[in-house]
């Protein structure tokens, strides 16, 4: 047995091997040590190897799923090895084989999946700074690819997609962000071969080329897709019939957000890593899990395609009219997660309750169609019309599943009892033998009592010994000749007769045949369902989209959101905008504010106290833009949004200890990303740039960054700062304006008004905020005295920043501070000290040296290097 195990384990060196032995999956050697620690189960030993005990642990097969879920969550992969031979006929160990491999990115079992999150397997390769990415959701039947042209863009895509498992070309030098990622799998270079991948894809899709998918010339994307397809087929031990197309995503079609922006905007994870108080927690009131996953994908990839967005808006308006969505949502709730059910049908791993839920969904579709028809007829929404046509009904399949399955089937087919009586006559006959067995045993017991005269005689059955006739010890004397002893108990003897043995063989054979017949019928039921897989998948996708659009309509009406205008004119105009999440969390009314950014005012310098609402105001602007590009209504009285290609945020920072970066380095890295990649169509949020270093360094960096964005990039920018020197920028550059968050002092306290007003703030109210935070009064009083002392000194604007203004706008005369320059109290991080050899060279007069002196001087300098 151990030789068989070692042979199978050698084929799965990177996976834990669950080796089936009776009612347990056993693990041995290092697998056992690893699994015992990960699963917190007992580590034992079995036999010896080289004089040492062989570590062993195991889990019951009937509860293996919860252990698999834990291992997958921890990023481990598991090969499931089952007995495929018959123990009764096997000579030596029962034949076993690996029947499937469960990996973090290829799970399809309901128990191993997060209901409202995609489970993605992604492959990555690159060549000369172009990156090919392909990703697949096996549980939903989606397969996509793209190519990007920088490492930063590739990292942003991976952050957006969030793969549970990442396959990487072994030739790649990975950045730190990926090297430590859970679920990382390095794959050999040959798995990314272009020709092999191309043939694999055309063979799978049964096409001559890939032109119809739009990826014929995407060599790196094809390489990644080929590796991915081969890996998925191997782990599933399946041809993946539900993967019927591959979709190309073009970066130019979507509004781009980098990893920092996704984190700062808290789309579906808050800054603490949880899911509460996020945009999704407010936006997601969908009826089905598949719609929730679709909504998340829309939120993480807002579109720039105006036609698609306007079609979504039109559909939402139609569903909002007379609250039409309320008629559809109760029906959608009964549809369930048929997207994942259909994938399990395709993989032939669907369980009885999957088919029962599919049956219930199909039975709802006629009512949903009848409800949707008048809504579509009364609107002119082309998107709703398309969805209505795609959501077909399937009367024959619905009838078949309704006749075949009992109302509430068991979890698995193994023990039978799934198919309804009357569905199959042969199955009914075999079941009848078992059903009538009870009466036969009652009749036999009465007859045998009369024949033997034994009052304690009774007929029974157990799983181990089968049917028996039991007599108490006191009466077990002279028994009839046809009674053969089967089992001796403490107080009774058990016998069997030829008649009972014949009956036992007949019944047990009938049970076995009934289970086999039911399993065959169940498999045929899945085959029949799979024949309509493509149409069913299209209907599932349409139902998910309809659910999301109904959700948008419900959110718009119940949260008082407005439909934004998508304009071709550059700029952002928001009237009475609100933060979608903060508004729902606040117990008091949220203070709405306007935002205007356009060609005449491309940057707003935002000042005001901490806790005044600067960050909230900035984030709400970005979220309103993002929601508009999802096709949703937005939290505002009105909004008009021009073309936007990217959203950048530099809001808050913390140390990156794993990457060895300080808070200030993280801040500067994010700032550098903005300065290198923002365009005139970008929305940029910058909060407290320069706060991680000294006053003069920070002020200079903030000033220079603001000027660079305003004059060279012309990006639409909200720039929050506590450096009041920046409020003079509108005097130097006519495309910058000042606003501030209002606050009022009251008896040395402070009241935050949260209202955005024109002009700069007159002070930062830092001491008042510190007082609110509970800083001791003695410290506050001392700080107030020091503040008065400092305010008597004059801190100049940075002259170097004015030079940047002059350089960027040659015709502009920057206003310089008239006060004396104050030297910074610390060395410049980027300042370099001259090498001693260079100092000697600067002092040298070559005309005074003879040849020998020159040679000696060179030797001396060489020693200094």
For residues 740 and 810, the answer to whether their CB atoms sit within 8 Å is no
For residues 135 and 163, the answer to whether their CB atoms sit within 8 Å is yes
- Give the DSSP letter string of 798-853: PHHHHHHHHHHSTT--PPPP-SPPPPPSS--TT--PPPHHHHHHHH--GGG--HHH
pLDDT band per the 50, 70, 90 thresholds, residue 806: low
**Token pair belonging to 307:** 């036609």
Q: What is the mean pLDDT of residues 724-735?
A: 94
pLDDT band per the 50, 70, 90 thresholds, residue 831: very low
Question: 860 exposed, middle or buried (CB, 10 Å; 0-12, 13-18, 19+)?
Answer: exposed
**Can you give the pLDDT at residue 817?**
41
**Can you give the pLDDT at residue 80?**
95
**Can you give the pLDDT at residue 763?**
72
Q: What is the mean pLDDT of residues 166-179?
A: 91
pLDDT band per the 50, 70, 90 thresholds, residue 669: confident
Backbone Cα Rg of the chain: 36
Single out the residue of 359, 434, 360, 400 nearest to residue 521, CA to CA.
Answer: 400
- For the entire predicted model, the pTM comes to 0.86
Q: Phi, psi at residue 758, to the nearest 5°?
A: -65, 155
pLDDT band per the 50, 70, 90 thresholds, residue 114: very high
Give the bridge partners for 478, in sequence order. Answer: none
Read off the pLDDT of residues 178-209 as tens digits, 9 standing for 90 and up.
Answer: 888 888 999 999 999 999 999 999 999 999 99
Q: Phi, psi at residue 337, to the nearest 5°?
A: -95, 65
Domains of the chain: residue spans and CATH: 2-102 (3.40.1170.10), 110-253 (3.30.420.110), 284-394+532-558 (1.10.1420.10), 425-523 (1.10.1420.10), 565-808 (3.40.50.300), 832-865 (no CATH)
Read off the pLDDT of residues 500-528 as tens digits, 9 standing for 90 and up.
Answer: 999 988 888 888 899 999 999 999 999 99
**Can you give the pLDDT at residue 819?**
38
**Token pair belonging to 532:** 């309509």
**Can you give the pLDDT at residue 841?**
78
Query: In this predicted structure, which of 37-46, 147-156, 370-379, 845-854 has the lowest mean pLDDT?
Result: 845-854
Read off the pLDDT of residues 627-645 as tens digits, 9 standing for 90 and up.
Answer: 999 999 999 999 999 999 9
**489 pLDDT exceeds 50?**
yes
**Can you give the pLDDT at residue 830?**
41
What CA–CA distance (Å, rounded) separates 280 from 268?
A: 5
**Can you give the pLDDT at residue 428?**
93
**Can you give the pLDDT at residue 823?**
39
What CA–CA distance (Å, rounded) separates 395 from 363?
A: 8
pLDDT band per the 50, 70, 90 thresholds, residue 278: very high
Q: What is the mean pLDDT of residues 72-97?
A: 86
pLDDT over 70 percentage in the chain:
93
**Can you give the pLDDT at residue 805?**
53
Read off the pLDDT of residues 527-579 as tens digits, 9 standing for 90 and up.
Answer: 999 999 999 999 999 999 999 999 999 999 999 999 999 999 999 999 999 99
pLDDT band per the 50, 70, 90 thresholds, residue 833: low
For residues 125 and 192, the answer to whether their CB atoms sit within 8 Å is yes
**53 pLDDT exceeds 80?**
yes
What CA–CA distance (Å, rounded) separates 456 from 491?
A: 11
**Can you give the pLDDT at residue 821?**
39
Strands of the sheet containing 44-49, edge to edge, are: 44-49, 52-60, 24-28, 16-21, 78-83, 96-102
Q: What is the mean pLDDT of residues 687-692?
A: 81
Q: What is the mean pLDDT of residues 16-43?
A: 95
**Can you give the pLDDT at residue 838?**
74
**Can you give the pLDDT at residue 96?**
92
pLDDT band per the 50, 70, 90 thresholds, residue 814: very low
pLDDT band per the 50, 70, 90 thresholds, residue 609: confident
């Amino acid at each position: 047995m151990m030789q068989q195990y070692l042979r199978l384990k050698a084929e799965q060196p990177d996976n834990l091997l669950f080796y089936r032995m009776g009612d347990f999956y056993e693990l041995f050697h290092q697998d056992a040590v690893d699994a015992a620690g990960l699963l917190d189960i007992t580590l034992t030993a079995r036999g010896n190897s080289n004089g040492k005990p062989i570590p062993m642990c195991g889990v019951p097969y009937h509860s293996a799923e919860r252990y698999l879920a834990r291992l997958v969550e921890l990023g481990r992969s598991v090969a499931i090895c089952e007995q495929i031979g018959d123990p009764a006929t096997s000579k030596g160990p029962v034949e076993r084989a690996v029947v499937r491999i469960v990996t973090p990115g290829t799970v399809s079992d309901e128990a191993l999946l997060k209901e409202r999150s995609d489970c993605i397997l992604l492959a990555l390769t690159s060549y000369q700074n172009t990156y090919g990415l392909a990703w697949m959701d096996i549980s939903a039947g989606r397969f996509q690819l793209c190519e990007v042209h920088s490492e930063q863009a590739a990292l942003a895509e991976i952050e957006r997609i969030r793969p549970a498992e990442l396959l990487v070309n072994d030739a790649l030098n990975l950045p730190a962000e990926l090297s430590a990622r859970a679920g990382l799998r390095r794959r050999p270079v040959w798995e990314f071969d272009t020709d092999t991948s191309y043939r694999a894809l055309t063979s799978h899709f049964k096409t001559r080329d890939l032109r119809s998918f739009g990826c014929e010339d995407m060599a790196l994307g094809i390489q990644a897709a080929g590796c991915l397809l081969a890996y998925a087929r191997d782990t599933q031990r399946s041809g993946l019939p539900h993967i019927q197309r591959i979709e190309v995503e073009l970066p130019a079609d979507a509004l781009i957000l980098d990893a920092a922006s996704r984190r700062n905007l808290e789309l579906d994870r808050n800054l603490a890593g949880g899911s509460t108080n996020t945009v999704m927690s407010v936006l997601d009131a969908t009826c089905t899990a598949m719609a929730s996953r679709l909504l998340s994908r829309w939120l993480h990839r807002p579109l720039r395609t105006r036609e698609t967005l306007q079609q979504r808006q039109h559909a939402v308006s139609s569903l909002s009219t007379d609250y039409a969505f309320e008629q559809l949502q109760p029906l959608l709730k009964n549809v369930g997660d048929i997207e994942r059910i259909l994938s399990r049908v395709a993989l032939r791993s669907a369980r009885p309750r999957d088919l029962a839920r599919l049956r219930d969904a199909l039975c709802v579709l006629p009512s949903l169609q009848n409800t949707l028809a008048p809504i579509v007829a009364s609107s002119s929404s082309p998107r709703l019309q398309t969805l209505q046509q795609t959501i077909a009904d399937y009367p024959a399949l619905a009838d078949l599943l309704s006749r075949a399955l009992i109302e509430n089937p068991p979890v698995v087919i193994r023990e039978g009892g799934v198919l309804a009586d009357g569905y199959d006559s042969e199955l009914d006959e075999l079941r009848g033998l078992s059903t009538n067995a009870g009466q036969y045993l009652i009749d036999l017991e009465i007859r045998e009592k009369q024949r033997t005269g034994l009052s304690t005689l009774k007929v029974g059955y157990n799983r181990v010994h089968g049917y028996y006739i039991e007599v108490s010890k006191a009466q077990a004397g002279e028994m009839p000749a046809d009674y053969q002893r089967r089992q001796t108990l403490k107080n009774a003897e058990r016998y069997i007769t030829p008649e009972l043995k014949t009956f036992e063989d007949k019944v047990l054979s009938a049970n076995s045949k009934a289970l086999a017949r039911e399993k065959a019928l169940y498999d045929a039921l899945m085959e029949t369902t799979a024949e309509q897989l493509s149409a069913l998948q299209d209907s599932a996708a349409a139902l998910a989209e309809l659910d999301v659009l109904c959700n948008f309509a419900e959110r718009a009406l119940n949260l008082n959101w407005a439909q934004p205008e998508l304009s071709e004119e550059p700029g952002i105009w928001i009237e009475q905008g609100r933060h979608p999440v903060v508004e729902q969390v606040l117990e008091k009314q949220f203070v709405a504010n306007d935002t205007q950014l356009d060609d005449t005012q491309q940057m707003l310098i935002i000042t005001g106290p901490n806790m005044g609402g600067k960050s909230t105001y900035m984030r709400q602007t970005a979220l309103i833009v993002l929601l508009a590009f999802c096709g949703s209504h937005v939290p505002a009285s009105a909004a008009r949004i021009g073309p936007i290609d990217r959203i950048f945020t530099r809001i808050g920072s913390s140390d990156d200890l794993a990457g060895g970066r300080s808070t200030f380095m993280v801040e500067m890295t994010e700032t550098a990303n903005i300065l290198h990649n923002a365009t005139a169509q970008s929305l940029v949020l910058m909060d407290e740039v320069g706060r991680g270093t000294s006053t003069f360094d920070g002020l200079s960096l903030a000033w220079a960054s603001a000027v660079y964005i305003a004059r060279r990039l012309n990006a639409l920018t909200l720039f929050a700062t506590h450096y009041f020197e920046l409020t003079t920028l509108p005097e130097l550059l006519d495309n910058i304006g000042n606003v501030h968050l209002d606050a009022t002092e009251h008896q040395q306290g402070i009241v935050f008004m949260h209202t955005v007003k024109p002009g700069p703030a007159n002070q930062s109210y830092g001491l008042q905020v510190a007082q609110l935070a509970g800083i001791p009064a003695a410290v506050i009083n001392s700080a107030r005295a020091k503040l008065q002392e400092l305010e008597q000194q004059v801190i100049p604007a940075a002259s170097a920043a004015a030079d940047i203004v002059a350089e960027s706008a040659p015709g502009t005369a920057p206003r310089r501070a008239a006060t004396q320059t104050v030297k910074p109290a610390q060395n410049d991080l980027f300042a370099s000290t001259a090498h001693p050899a260079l100092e000697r060279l600067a002092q040298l007069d070559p005309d005074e040296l003879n040849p020998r002196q020159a040679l000696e001087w060179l030797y001396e300098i060489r020693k200094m290097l």
